[in-house]
Chains A and B, each alone.
Chain A
């Protein structure tokens, strides 16, 4: 794969992720391929077979075993990466909590796909949102470029001494994972320089310093371990910001906690994750051309939830629709809706907020769908009342 002088190359999301993994060259990669993330492991297995990486690839019998092997290898002192989707992430559930509780900076790519039943292989966010309380830092990516950049930054975030938490990079199944986008790659040497060498805090293979991982902790100190973990998660927000800025300084593409689009004077705002933000921006441009004060906000960091920054950015809006590509099945909207609405509780302006659930199981979200939501928001702005707090769109 030649990098042109302009540095532009057409890659799918999966290929770009696999290429970033090749450049990162992790010590161990336990994996069990699953649609739509299969291409990542397929391509990466090719790099392993061709001797382009030093990685020990472990083919396992399930995702539960994949994450178990990640935990074992990371505890041994290795830099570990894997990738999965949907049922695969769901099967890892038990081990996700162990990885974070043991403070192992594993980096996982989750290609977002709907959960069964009914069985479906297409995009929605029910998989990674199901893991939102598992103690993993979660970054969401709008584009192939951002997914590639996020994965490289994820290594630094996870391994930062203020953090030491596993980190998950999410991108939309098929929409981003299988679409070819022209992106800029960073040179191998620059990636290597940016991530640096991994120096584990503890390593089971350090036989000079014998340790025990995964011991029991009873009521006399379990809560202290959880408190430490919680503080590390809260601290990671500043680390994500700092690394996003450093990345921008070095490679020309800066990343913050969220992406605000034409938000400054916007009355009506859509908050939305991942690839659908691109579609929403087209709708924003159309409406701005008509003189309508609309904007969009796309959170990049979802765990930890940057509630203060998001509330500040959204406090000037009059009406907000939070669009979730997942239903919490709580009778009260999606997870992003609930957390955004909660974050706004402390603001003086208290904008009106409504929940719209869209695109489950890969249903298309089109510009007309975003325009429909802005139309509803316009009515809320003029009446000051939310008529329908929550509903499904794109039905």
Chain B
């Protein structure tokens, strides 16, 4: 009974003892659909960056640079939220 578990000592009560640990957890493998951005159409409005629930839209100097595929779960919110006149993001089957 007093034997240590295989997984070793765990944080008390399942507490995550510091911030930012989601970065260490790869959720990209959950993805069925992959977002693909067409940079020729993108206006860098960054609505996708605002709406992404996993902070998986990479930006630099106010420009949309692509996706963090280690954390993108392929929910497709970015593709839906991309303005109708632009529609620069398409969801493609991972299998293809």
Chain B 36-65 interface 0/1 with A at a Cβ cutoff of 8 Å (1 = within):
000000000000000000000000000000
Asked if B5 and A224 make an inter-chain contact with CB atoms under 8 angstroms apart, the answer reads yes
Q: CA A231 – CA B16 in complex, angstroms?
A: 20
Partner among A104, A227, A230, A234 whose Cβ is within 8 Å of the Cβ of B13: A104
- The B1-27 residues at the A interface (CB cut-off 8 A) are 1-2, 5-10, 12-19, 21
Asked if B18 and A210 make an inter-chain contact with CB atoms under 8 angstroms apart, the answer reads yes
Total interface residues on A, CB under 8 Å, equals 25
Q: CA A215 – CA B21 in complex, angstroms?
A: 11
Q: Which residues of A contact B13 (CB under 8 A)?
A: 101-104, 164, 202, 213, 225
Q: CA A211 – CA B19 in complex, angstroms?
A: 6
Nearest B residue to A104 via CB reads B13
Q: CA A210 – CA B7 in complex, angstroms?
A: 24
Q: Which residues of A contact B12 (CB under 8 A)?
A: 103, 164, 201-202, 228
Tell me if A's interface is mostly helix, strand, loop or mixed: loop
For residue A212, CB closer than 8 A to chain B, the reply is yes
Smallest distance from the beta carbon of B16 to chain A beta carbons, Å? 4
Smallest distance from the beta carbon of A303 to chain B beta carbons, Å? 16
For residue A214, CB closer than 8 A to chain B, the reply is yes
Asked if A231 and B1 make an inter-chain contact with CB atoms under 8 angstroms apart, the answer reads yes
Asked if B17 and A202 make an inter-chain contact with CB atoms under 8 angstroms apart, the answer reads yes
Q: Which residues of A contact B7 (CB under 8 A)?
A: 220-221, 223-224
Q: Which residues of B contact A223 (CB under 8 A)?
A: 5, 7
Partner among B2, B5, B8, B16 whose Cβ is within 8 Å of the Cβ of A211: B16
Q: Which residues of B contact A382 (CB under 8 A)?
A: none
CB-defined A-B contacts under 8 Å, sample of 26? A102-B13, A103-B12, A202-B12, A202-B13, A202-B17, A209-B18, A210-B18, A211-B16, A211-B17, A211-B18, A212-B19, A212-B21, A214-B14, A215-B16, A221-B10, A223-B5, A224-B5, A224-B6, A224-B8, A224-B10, A225-B13, A225-B14, A227-B5, A228-B5, A230-B1, A231-B2
Q: Interface of B with A (CB < 8 Å)?
A: 1-2, 5-10, 12-19, 21
A-B pairs with lowest CB-CB distance, top 9: A103-B13, A212-B16, A224-B7, A102-B13, A224-B5, A210-B19, A227-B5, A224-B10, A202-B15
